[in-house]
Amino acid sequence: EVVLTQSPGPLSLSPGERATLSCRASQSVSSSYLAWYQQKAGQAPRLLIYGASNRATGTPDRFSGSGSGTDFTLTISRLEPEDFAVYYCQQYGNSLLTFGGGTKVEIK
Amino acid sequence: QVQLVQSGAEVKKPGASVKVSCKASGYTFTSYYMHWVRQAPGQGLEWMGIINPNGGSTTYTQKFQGRVTMTRDTSTSTVYMDLSSLRSEDTAVYYCAAGGSTRLDHWGQGTLVTVSS
C-alpha cells in the first residue's frame, strides 16, 4: 500500500498570502493518478485537482498542482477567505486508493 | 447536475450491521464508478472500496474484507454499503463518491453512523 505523507501541519497564513502544501509518497505514483481535495468544516470533500496538475471543473485558477514520482505540491497563489480548509492528496495504484492525512490551512 | 443523496444517520449497537444507501441522479448511473470513504470524528479520509455499477464488480481494501459488502440497484440508480460486526471504532461519517476508478469527482452529503452500546 502506498502511504501518502502531507506536510506541513497545520499551515497558518493570512488572506492574500501564498500557500504551498506538500504530499510525499512512500513509492512512486503515476502523475495521472494523483488528486487533491478540499474539505471545509462540516462539508463533504470536493475534488480540486486531478492528474497532479489538472483543475477540476469549478476550481479557481489560483489553485495549481505540480510534481511527479514521490513528491507533489498543491499551491494556492493568493489565499481567499473561502480557501481556509483542510486539503487531502489521494493516489491510485494496484486497484487501491489511499489518502494523505491532510493539511489544515488556517487563518493566522 | 450530478447529485448523490445518502440515507440518514444511524445509531447501532456493537456487533450489529448497518446499510447505507446512496441514490444517484443527473447522469447515466453506469457511467461512473462509486467509491465509499469514511471519516472518523476529527480524523482524515479513509477509502473503503469501490463498485462498478456496470456489472457490480467490487474491490475492497484489506482492512474491510469480510465485513463490507457494496451492491447496486440499477433500476433505482442506488448503491448500498453494508458494514457488519460494528464496533465503536466504526463510528464515522460515511461518504459515497462517484467518479472514475482513480479519483472521486462527486460526493454525497455523508451519513453519520454511530456505534454505541
The pLDDT tens digits for A51-75 are 999 999 999 999 999 999 999 999 9
pLDDT of B117: 95
Distance from CA of B93 to the nearest CA of A (A): 10
Q: Any idea what the Cα angle at residue B111 is, between residues B88 and B98, rounded to 5°?
A: 120
Q: What percent of chain B has pLDDT over 70?
A: 100
Cis upstream peptide for A10 (omega within 30°): yes
pLDDT of A71: 98
> pLDDT at residue A103 above 90?
yes
Mean pLDDT over the full length of chain B:
97
Q: Which residues contact A72 (CB under 8 A, 6 or more apart)?
A: A22, A23, A24, A25, A29, A34, A52, A65, A66, A89
**Contact criterion met (CB < 8 Å) for A56 and B105:** yes
B45 touches A: beta carbon within 8 Å = yes
Mean pLDDT over the full length of chain A:
96
Give the residue carrying C-alpha cell 480540486.
Answer: A48
Q: Is A54 left (phi over 0), alpha (psi -120 to 50) or beta?
A: beta
Distance from CA of A94 to the nearest CA of B (A): 10
Count of CB pairs separated by less than 8 Å, A with B: 56
> pLDDT at residue B68 above 90?
yes
Give the residue carrying C-alpha cell 492574500.
Answer: A16
Q: What percent of chain B has pLDDT over 90?
A: 100
From the list B44, B47, B106, which residue is nearest A102 (CB)? B44
Entry field: residues in chain A: 108
pLDDT of A5: 98
Distance CA B31, CA B36 (A): 17
**Contact criterion met (CB < 8 Å) for A99 and B44:** yes
pLDDT of A94: 87
> pLDDT at residue B61 above 90?
yes
Q: Name the band, by pLDDT with cuts 50, 70 and 90, for residue A9.
A: confident
- Average pLDDT on A1-27 reads 96
- Number of other residues whose CB lies within 10 A of the CB of residue B94: 24
B3 touches A: beta carbon within 8 Å = no
> pLDDT at residue A26 above 90?
yes
